[in-house]
A and B are shown apart, each in its own frame.
Chain A
Amino acid sequence: MKVLCDREQLREGLAVVNNVIPPRSTKPVLENVCLVASDDALELLGTDLEVAVRYRVGEVKVSEPGLAVIPARVALDFIRDLSSETVALESADGRCTISGGSDSCELVTLDADEFPVVSRFDEEKTLTIQGGTFTRLVGQTAFAAAREAGRYAMHGVLMVMEEGHLKLVGTDGRRLALSSTPVDQPSEDIKPSILPTKGIQLFCRVIEDPLDMVQLQFGENQVGLKSKNAEIFTRLIDGEYPKYTQVVPSETAHIVEANADLMGRKLRLVANVTGDEARAVRFKVERDEIAMFGRSAGRGEAQAHMEVKYDGSGSSISFNPDYVLDGLKHCDQETLRLEFSDKSSPGKFCLGENYIYIVMPITIDT
């Protein structure tokens, strides 16, 4: 293999691929990147067996096609610190030489046959969406997915096609974020898929320009995304996703409209004075006002007040402030709507045109 490439483009590609490659693995070959030089292109392949990426480096001159499997982290670090504009890659006899200007390094290569097969994007069952929109949907939902071990199906983000919308759902069983966007050529035969949180977040890393269109491909065991330079695939979580539609309240007794930014600031303020063991802030709604109360056993208590639009009867509900703040961070619009029925039923935050966030309250056992 013999290739000449632009240093910056090669560095960018290696950086993307290194996001997927595990720093340490029980299978050492996975700590490597596979360079594939064909007649007019250089592809970089990396995988941790759950997520796999194929990155196409632009502006390359291939004088000798071939393969080389080299340590990914070292290659990135060396190329990043090179000062030349171009980089030459040359492999032969179990060695791969990286040179730029008068500087070079020689890395040990592994047998290319040992490297796992990385899929290719095919054009079936695909869906086209703007890169920035996809990134936003992921940001608005992935944070709510479960992190603790045990609830297997909740360890990912659910993607479904429904009524011409692509819907993403994340939940850890205590809060649930649901964001959707209309898509142009809706293909309804796409089956619901649970993407591991890490995988779907890596999808966003290969989207360089938010205005670019990206393609999603839904397979039996994996979902792929194709951006301008990269194809990335993630294995799906095989499990039954909780019936999330049943927990979205449709009719609620209390509806409050409030400035999202102000609510965030007031809530953070009060949250400072809540216990470590029981983070709870009580929201008390009264005519045109929300009062928030926090207390910390043995330390003290705090309260904050804000004007809102509300003309119902007085009521109150307590939430973990961290959960509410997580959602407010991704709020799409100036004014949010909080809907709830009583202190033990879910609170529904409408944070955007197609974005809702459900948070279960905190109650006290009697």
Chain B
Amino acid sequence: MSESTCSILHIDMDAFYASVEVRDQPNLLGQPVCVGGPEGGRGVISAASYEARKFGVHSAMPCAQARRLCPSMVLLPPDFDRYTEASRQIMAVFQSFTPLVEPLSLDEAFLDVSGCERLHGSARDIGLSIKREIQKRTALVASVGLAPSKFLAKLASDLDKPDGFRVIEPHEIRAVLDPLSVSKIFGVGQRTAKRLGAMGIHTVGDLAHRPRHEVAREFGTSGAWIHDLAHGIDTRRVTPRRSEKSSGCERTFAEDIEDREELRLFLLQFCEGIGFQLRHKGLRGRTVTLKARFGDFTTVTRTKTLSTATNLGPRIYATARDLLERVPPGPLRLLGVQISALEDVRLPRQQGLFDSPANDAQAASADEASSARLGRVTRGLDRLRHKYGKAVVVPASLLGRG
């Protein structure tokens, strides 16, 4: 039975951001290093080294709290360019073994290595090779889980962390799962765990021994799903390129911002970034959504659907800027833009009547005509960006902004 063969790998880097920092600044070795911040304001910890975790510091914790727990903590601001570079190297290692790589984030991915045996040896050998290869190429440590399914593989990589390598064979599923807390099940959060606890279900074993219909009655379809997982049943496949529904960017400001000009500059920055991402992935989108959260945490969203899909920063920005006008005045804590209704750029495209240069002067069609021109310019700029880095060309108003 192919389902029960161990061929799904889950690879997860140990304290990724923090490890990259320690690698690049060896004097930090052995110290409680965290990445995140800023410390003064509302910064949170993005990653904590294992030394810091001993103090109880974990990711998503407010920096101030982390500092109280661990006064000697070394807090560094994130440097995503370096993490992205390391991530690219890691993903390249994965790709050298199988094309069936499903990245979950910068430092985490599922791989399906079934059928690779003749080329690279058994799944276990591949897992060990990948771990070694990552260490060799990036000087970073990965934890590897190998199991018959995604859920179990992810569980496995977590069991031996850090520097782990764990295989869950089909025959040991029950022995591994039963004693674990139900909260280890993917999809069981605090609230579900509490409700399960009220039903007398505390471990995965407790859950697995309940009749399926009973759990399904209590939790609906998600009940059936977690019951399956408790039995180690997970039929999800490793899908190399999950079709994306949206692309976006948002930021929580260190201090609330009321100045609309300043907010517009952030918007422009977000939109330029989103446009670049979309073009890189060969996508374009039609629906622009702006999200604004006020100081008192009330959140408003404003949405507009364009007549034609775009992946050009200035066009997304033009819409986002109009949407910002529709947000009531007041200091904002968070601002974000998202573009959805994504489609492949290779899809058929409706031509416009007034796109030709003869009609360039027409105000009504200027957007489409200029889009065509902008598209040509952007292709050139993107080539530069790919060669010399994203910062090589930016709109003048964003010069000098991180």
Contacts and interface: CB of A to CB of B under 8 A. Distances in A.
- Interface size class on chain A is 20 to 34
* Most interface-central of A154, A241, A242, A320 (chain B CB within 10 A): A242
Contacts of A153: 363-364
Given A171-B353, A362-B348, A365-B349, A148 B307 contact: yes
A362 B350 contact: yes
Interface string B329-371: 0000000000000010111111111101011001111011000
A344 B353 CA distance: 11
A361 interface: yes
A220 B109 CA distance: 67
Given A242-B359, A246-B359, A277-B347, A152 B353 contact: no
B354 A173 contact: yes
A280 B347 CA distance: 10
Nearest to A151: B364
B302 to A, nearest CB: 13
A363 B354 contact: no
Nearest to A282: B348
A242 B307 contact: no
Interface string A173-197: 1111000000000000000000000
B347 A278 contact: yes
A36 B305 CA distance: 45
B348 A243 contact: no
Contacts of B346: 364-365
Contacts of A171: 353
Contacts of B350: 174, 320, 360, 362
B349 A360 contact: no
A174 B353 contact: yes
A227 interface: no
A364 B307 contact: no
B369 to A, nearest CB: 11
Interface string A318-350: 101000000000000000000000001010000
Contacts of B345: 365
A105 interface: no
B343 A277 contact: yes
A65 interface: no
Contacts of A174: 350-353
Nearest to A241: B364
Interface in B169-191: none
Interface string A143-155: 0000011111110
A173 B349 contact: no
B356 to A, nearest CB: 8
Contacts of A346: 353
Contacts of A247: 353-354, 356, 359
A273 to B, nearest CB: 15
Nearest to A361: B351
Contact of B349 (A152, A154, A246, A363): A363
Interface in B357-402: 358-359, 362-365, 367-368
Interface in A133-159: 148-154
A68 B368 CA distance: 50
A214 interface: no
B364 A175 contact: no
Contacts of A312: none
Contact of A360 (B304, B348, B351, B359): B351
Given A246-B359, A277-B343, A362 B349 contact: yes
Given A242-B353, A242-B354, A346-B353, A173 B348 contact: no
A358 B349 contact: no
A148 B350 CA distance: 16
Task: Give the most central of A152, A173, A320: most B CB within 10 Å.
Answer: A173
A363 B348 contact: yes
Contacts of B363: 153, 239-240
Contacts of B352: 173-174, 360
Contacts of A176: 353
Contacts of B362: 240, 242-243
A50 to B, nearest CB: 20
Interface string A351-366: 0000000101111110
A240 B368 CA distance: 16
A358 B362 CA distance: 19
B246 to A, nearest CB: 15
Contact of A173 (B305, B347, B353): B353
A263 B340 CA distance: 36
Contacts of B305: 148
B145 to A, nearest CB: 34
Given A149-B304, A362-B348, A365-B346, 14 more contacts: A174-B353, A175-B353, A176-B353, A240-B363, A243-B358, A243-B359, A246-B358, A246-B359, A278-B348, A344-B351, A358-B353, A362-B351, A364-B346, A364-B347
27 contacts: A151-B364, A151-B365, A152-B364, A153-B364, A154-B364, A173-B368, A174-B352, A176-B353, A239-B363, A239-B364, A240-B364, A242-B362, A242-B365, A243-B354, A243-B359, A246-B358, A246-B359, A247-B356, A278-B343, A278-B348, A320-B350, A346-B353, A360-B350, A362-B348, A362-B349, A362-B350, A362-B351
Q: Which 4 A-B pairs have the closest CB atoms?
A: A360-B351, A278-B348, A362-B348, A247-B353
